[in-house]
């Protein structure tokens, strides 16, 4: 059709011609010569940088980036996939994606504002073939808060190679694999993105909106558990019950209760340790008064909580709790959880009461590893 030509100019030579609005000396080759040389490109006759195929556009176009852009180039490095290792001639992204979009009947394209020129380049190809170009919506760069790590493929890759991140699913990495491993559902991410709308200006995605959308999806189906971080051990006195029975879910009595053995002491989070003679309510167990470094069981009923005089806190039995390592955006947190956590299946999501949602990742010999999702 005469819409492309093979070019052996060096990159510097063509750049000078392009910027001056001058035609490449190879531009007027006849179609037969171009086809022959392109077949040689496909056969791997040329070395990298020796020959390219250019799409004819407007050599005097006001945007130099659109002037006779490269559609195919030679690459000497073999493709890492065995079935493609023999090929040396490869399409550039703008040509490849434009053709793919037509083949699979794409009607709408949503792409970043930095790719505005892609649509303009691809339109030249579509015009040659008489195709209707899809409707394009350009979106500004999406900035994500909460992460210390820059949302950049090259940055994340370098941090992984340096050992500063464990992998693409490290909770400190702003990646979809990381969110999936934390137990955050794809639908929640989609909803938060859709709520941003489309704008050609840069936009900020607050992770709190992702968390809220995920919480709406998992809260009702997620059972509750206790986890105490960096706990202080406190003895019990006054003959409390031998077993605590907090509900699996406060809104679903039909699911039943957790049966937690109590023992003679419990672990409390440092901030929950009461003042002398202060009363607290251990969830699922009852009311205690902190006297002479011991939590003495008082036997009072739940009315003391309803009256607002007693704080409700979570706890775990000191003797039978299980060690947990919780991986978070801010680093690993260690603690101990109620015994049943050791029996939960990987991928199950739980809510650690007063802490937040987490996904069970695996059970190692010495500890259970969980990934923190969000409050």
Average pLDDT for consecutive 10-residue bins of the chain (375 residues)?
95 93 95 97 95 96 95 94 94 96 96 90 96 93 86 93 96 96 96 87 90 97 97 96 96 96 97 96 96 95 90 96 97 97 97 98 96 97
Same domain, 149 and 201: yes
pLDDT on residue 246: 96
Same domain, 60 and 154: no
Burial class (CB in 10 A: 0-12, 13-18, 19+), 214: buried
CA angle 68–74–75, rounded 5-degree value: 135
Q: How far apart are CA 249 and CA 315, in angstroms?
A: 17
What is the residue-wise DSSP string for 242-296?
SEE--BS-TT-GGG-B--EE--SEEEE-GGGPPPTT-EEEETTTEEEEEETTEEE
Q: What are phi and psi of 24, to 5 degrees?
A: -70, 140
Same domain, 146 and 84: no
Q: What CA dihedral angle connects 215, 220, 224 and 227, to 10 degrees?
A: 0
Query: For residue 263, which of 233, 299, 230, 227 has the smallest C-alpha distance?
Result: 233
CATH number for the domain spanning 11: value is 3.40.50.620
Residue 227 has, within 13 A of its CA and on its CB side, a CA count of: 26
Q: Is 137 helix (H, G, I), strand (E, B) or coil?
A: strand
Name the packing angle between helices 186-196 and 207-218 (round to 10°): 130
pLDDT on residue 217: 97
Q: Taking a C-beta distance cutoff of 8 angstroms, is the pair 205, 188 a contact?
A: no
Same domain, 53 and 129: yes
Ranges of beta strands (E only) in 107-175 are 108-112, 135-139, 142-144
β partners of residue 297 = 288
pLDDT on residue 150: 85
What's the chain's Rg over C-alpha atoms? 31
221: left (phi over 0), alpha (psi -120 to 50) or beta: alpha
Q: Taking a C-beta distance cutoff of 8 angstroms, is the pair 56, 27 a contact?
A: yes
Same domain, 158 and 71: no
Domain boundary among 137, 159, 186: 137
Helix, strand, coil fractions of the chain, as percent rounded to 5:
30, 30, 45
pLDDT on residue 82: 93
Count of CB atoms situated within 10 Å of the CB of 116: 14
Burial class (CB in 10 A: 0-12, 13-18, 19+), 51: buried
Q: Taking a C-beta distance cutoff of 8 angstroms, is the pair 51, 71 a contact?
A: no
Give how many domains the chain has, as a whole number: 3
Domain boundary among 74, 108, 137: 137
Give kind and range of the element (H or E) at residue 188: helix 186-196
Q: How far apart are CA 233 and CA 141, in angstroms?
A: 49
pLDDT on residue 143: 84
Name the packing angle between helices 93-103 and 116-129 (round to 10°): 60
Same domain, 214 and 227: no
Same domain, 295 and 258: yes
pLDDT on residue 149: 87
CATH number for the domain spanning 186: value is 1.10.1160.10
Same domain, 241 and 336: yes
Q: Taking a C-beta distance cutoff of 8 angstroms, is the pair 256, 368 a contact?
A: no
Q: What CA dihedral angle connects 103, 107, 109 and 110, to 10 degrees?
A: -140
pLDDT on residue 152: 87
Only one residue has tokens 């001056």, namely 20
Same domain, 33 and 116: yes
Range of the domain at 195: 142-218
β partners of residue 115 = none
Residue 166 has, within 13 A of its CA and on its CB side, a CA count of: 12
Query: For residue 230, which of 295, 313, 292, 323 has the smallest C-alpha distance?
Result: 323
Domain boundary among 194, 218, 242: 218
Same domain, 202 and 272: no
Only one residue has tokens 């086809």, namely 35
Same domain, 92 and 114: yes
Q: Taking a C-beta distance cutoff of 8 angstroms, is the pair 267, 318 a contact?
A: yes
Same domain, 289 and 338: yes
């Amino acid at each position: 059709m005469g819409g492309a030509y093979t070019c052996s100019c060096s990159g510097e030579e063509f750049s000078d011609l392009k910027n001056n609005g001058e035609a490449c000396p190879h531009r007027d080759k006849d179609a037969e010569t171009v086809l022959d040389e392109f077949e040689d490109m496909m056969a791997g006759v040329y070395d990298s940088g020796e020959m390219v195929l250019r799409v004819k556009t407007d050599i005097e176009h006001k945007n130099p980036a659109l002037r006779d852009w490269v559609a195919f180039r030679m690459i000497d490095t073999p493709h890492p996939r065995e079935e493609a290792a023999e090929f040396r001639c490869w399409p550039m992204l703008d040509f490849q994606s434009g053709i793919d979009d037509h083949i699979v009947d794409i009607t709408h394209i949503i792409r970043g504002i930095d790719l505005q020129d892609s649509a303009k380049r691809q339109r030249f190809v579509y015009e040659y073939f008489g195709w209707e170009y899809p409707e394009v919506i350009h979106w500004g760069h999406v900035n994500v808060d909460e992460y210390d790590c820059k949302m950049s493929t090259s940055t994340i890759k370098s941090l992984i190679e340096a050992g500063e991140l464990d992998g693409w699913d490290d909770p400190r990495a702003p990646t979809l694999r990381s969110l999936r491993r934390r137990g955050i559902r794809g639908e929640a991410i989609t909803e938060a993105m859709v709520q941003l709308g489309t704008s050609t200006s840069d936009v900020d995605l607050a992770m709190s909106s992702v968390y809220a959308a995920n919480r709406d999806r998992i809260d009702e189906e997620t059972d509750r558990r206790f986890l105490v971080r960096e706990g202080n051990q406190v003895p019990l006195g006054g003959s409390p019950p031998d077993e605590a029975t907090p509900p699996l879910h406060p809104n679903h009595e039909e699911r039943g209760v957790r049966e937690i053995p109590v023992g003679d002491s419990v672990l409390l989070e440092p901030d929950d340790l009461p003042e002398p003679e202060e009363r607290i309510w251990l969830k699922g167990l009852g009311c205690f008064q902190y006297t002479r470094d011991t939590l003495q069981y008082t036997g009072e009923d739940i009315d003391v909580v309803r009256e607002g005089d007693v704080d409700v806190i979570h706890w775990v039995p000191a003797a039978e709790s299980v060690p947990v390592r919780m991986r978070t955006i801010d680093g690993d947190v260690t603690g101990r959880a109620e015994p049943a956590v050791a029996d939960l299946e990987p991928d199950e999501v739980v809510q650690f009461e007063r802490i937040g949602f987490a996904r069970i990742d695996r059970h190692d010999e010495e500890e259970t590893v969980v990934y923190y999702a969000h409050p």
